[in-house]
Chains A and B, each alone.
Chain A
Amino acid sequence: MTNEAGRRAEMSFAKRYNLFFWFRHAALLGWASMIMFPIFWMISTSFKDSGDWLAWPPNWFPSFLGGGYEPTLDNYRLIFSLFGQGDRVNRDVLEHVFTIWGAVRDSMVISSISALLALLLGTFLAYSISRFNVGGKYFRYMILTIRMVPPIIIAIPVVMYYAILIPFATQTVLGYRISMIDSYSGLCLLYMATTLPFVIWMMLNFIEEIPKTIEHAAHIMGAGRIYTLRRVVMPLVAPGMVVTFLFIFILNWSEFLLALTLTQPKVVTLPILLNKFQSAVEGRLYGPQAAIGTVITIPVVILGVLIQKHLVTGFSFGTIRK
């Protein structure tokens, strides 16, 4: 008993009151609330009516939580309406028809097709880099340059290429002009090229985890290279391929600059659609914009949480592994 009391007395003030525990939780909670604040504000704005968007002082909570605004679904009704007709929205606003279905379709098609193409090409290249050292020791690093170049430097040449050279070439060879500006194929190919470094690096990580002895064993038992690749390697890296696909999908889904410069008005991806609300007749339409933001963000955050263990590997080009 005396021993216990003695130890108590010896303990420092900080230890006795568990100061570090409270400090850690206060700091982490503070940062967490700062992080969540913009997202909270977006979601609450998406349920506000047009009068509450710019109210001063701002209304924080809906009326059923004792706050100042009546929650409404009008913004969601506007962006999801099939014919672009909201009930209580001004006519001027409706001159621009802001439904998101077209943009959802474009974004889904472009992101998934380009992610698939990049995945196929990148996986095979990663395999041959890992097993045969194709392209030399530094090839895997050189491929990173494509990702590190600012996209505007890529966008200007590619726009000229799509707008001048490809129509000219197809005119002389095929006899009719094909323009790749404002088309699915143009954006898909470019996304594929710019996300290849990510695919190669992530897949290199997954492939190098497979011991070479398995392939040797298959080889000795008489399996050909292609058979080994299909039946031995593929099943082992399949989970890695799924993760990589999701990661690339997220990247393509949120890409802005290349989509802004290479598409419109026919092909409109979701980030571009969101940006378009800026130039509406009535000034900024905060409510529908917030609704679109919420709708875009939710699937990506869910996917991201699913692959959160691999996000660090992806963003750091596989230099950091968990």
Chain B
Amino acid sequence: MAQATIKERKSLSAWLSQEKVFRLIPFIMVEATFLLLLAIPFMLTIYISLLKWRANRPFEQAYFHGLLNYVRVLTTEDFWWALGRTFYFAGTAVFFELVIGFLLAMLAYKQFRGRRIYITIFLIPMMVVPVVGGYNFSMIYIDSGPLNQILAPITEAMGVNPRIRWLSHPIAAQWAIIIADVWQWTSLTFLIFLSGFTALPQQLTNAARVLGASRWQIFWKVHLPLLKPAIMIAVIIRSMEALKLFDLSVLLTFGGPGTSTETIAFFLWRQVWQFNKYSFGAAASIILLFIFGALIFYGIYLLVRERSIVEEESMR
């Protein structure tokens, strides 16, 4: 009896150790997870997007509605405005993050006293919970808050009321969100550029200097081309993350004033969870999946390209 169990166990482990079984077990498990958790819901969503259904009545009373939801989403002006605004926020925020992160990394990559402390401090915003960060900024932006007091000498010199309402003017509110995003994520671009700068080969710089290149030339002709992969990776990763922007518009302005800070995520959340337009939300999320899918595949294509460049260079 005991021998039989040993034999069985052995044969089980032998079966598991076969390469074709062993290599596929984790793959199948992960694929099954994705299928059950993501693929089936998306099929359900496609089905629901063809129905007319609001959550204020039971699902059984929904009826078939054709492609009308899609037409409705595509003809909703707010949908396109929210989408455009998301790209505007993401583009502006990522631009500032890249510029500031690059300059800081340029200042901090060489050894000097206190470098580690600076780097540790610069890392902190990235680790702060985004909700806490957004909430901190909402506290700073209130009209009797610290930001207005810092700006008070300037505003008083200009003869304006120092209690500026940051969050209830459309354009100021948009910039408030962008600044909060820049505060939090410049640390990531800084880190990416920092590791790019520290990986610069010293021989090339020395060689250029021996050949009589000025600092300016070394930077533009030697360093910048070598840093291109790092820059591309920072752009791709940050813009993909920035397009998800949601927390800040909930916490700082709740989409307001009017709809001037509604991002696409916030717009959809409001349609589904506040107005209960479930089939509308389903159609919109399918449409967005296609739009973002195209962007993501392009981004991943670029990532693969840059990564192979990086690897080739490290092979040399």
Contact = CB atoms under 8 A, between A and B. Distances in A.
Interface of A: 21, 24-25, 27-28, 31-32, 34-39, 41-42, 45, 54-58, 60, 121-122, 124-125, 127-128, 131-132, 134-135, 138, 141-142, 144-146, 148-161, 164-165, 189-190, 192-193, 196, 224-226, 250, 253-254, 256-257, 260-261, 270-271, 274-275, 278, 286, 289-290, 293, 296-297, 300-301, 303-305, 308, 311-312, 315-317, 319-322
Given A27-B107, A157-B282, A312-B191, 9 more contacts: A35-B122, A41-B136, A57-B144, A125-B27, A145-B293, A149-B289, A160-B45, A316-B237, A320-B230
Interface residues of B, number: 100
Contacts of A286: 139
Interface string B6-42: 0000000110110100111111011001100110111
Given A138-B304, A315-B188, A304 B126 contact: yes
Please classify the interface of chain A as helix (H, G, I), strand (E, B), loop, or mixed, using the class held by over half of its residues: helix
Interface in B73-121: 100, 103-104, 107-108, 112, 114, 118-121
A193 B293 contact: no
Interface stretch (B63-71, B170-178, B203-211, B266-274): B266-274
B50 interface: no
A140 B213 CA distance: 42
B287 to A, nearest CB: 10
Nearest to B267: A152
Contacts of A58: 144-146, 149
B226 interface: no
Among A54, A146, A289, A312, max chain B CB count under 10 A is at A312
A145 to B, nearest CB: 5
Contacts of A27: 103-104, 107
A316 B48 contact: no
Contact of A308 (B30, B123, B140): B123
Nearest to B250: A275
25 contacts: A24-B107, A27-B104, A31-B122, A35-B124, A38-B183, A41-B139, A41-B140, A58-B145, A124-B29, A125-B27, A134-B23, A141-B300, A150-B265, A152-B264, A159-B272, A164-B59, A193-B37, A271-B129, A289-B139, A296-B129, A304-B127, A317-B237, A317-B303, A319-B307, A320-B196
A56 B59 CA distance: 53
A56 B145 CA distance: 7
Among A134, A157, A300, max chain B CB count under 10 A is at A157
B285 interface: yes
Among B37, B48, B251, max chain A CB count under 10 A is at B37
B107 to A, nearest CB: 5
Nearest to B299: A148
B242 to A, nearest CB: 10
9 nearest CB pairs, A to B: A304-B127, A157-B41, A124-B26, A56-B144, A161-B41, A132-B23, A254-B129, A38-B136, A271-B131
A55 B149 CA distance: 11
Contact of B33 (A154, A192, A224, A225): A192
Contacts of B107: 24, 27-28
Interface in B234-289: 234, 237, 240, 243-244, 246-247, 250-251, 264-265, 268-269, 272-273, 278, 281-282, 285, 288-289
Please classify the interface of chain B as helix (H, G, I), strand (E, B), loop, or mixed, using the class held by over half of its residues: helix
B192 interface: yes
B37 A36 contact: no
Contact of A56 (B137, B163, B264, B265): B163
B218 interface: no
Nearest to B20: A132
Nearest to A196: B30
Contacts of A296: 129, 132
A293 B269 CA distance: 24
Among A31, A125, A150, A190, max chain B CB count under 10 A is at A150
B44 interface: yes
Nearest to A278: B251
A28 B140 CA distance: 22
Contacts of B33: 121, 189, 192-193, 196
A289 B145 CA distance: 16
Among A35, A145, A253, A321, max chain B CB count under 10 A is at A35
B142 interface: yes
B126 A322 contact: no
A319 B310 contact: yes
Nearest to A28: B118
A288 to B, nearest CB: 12
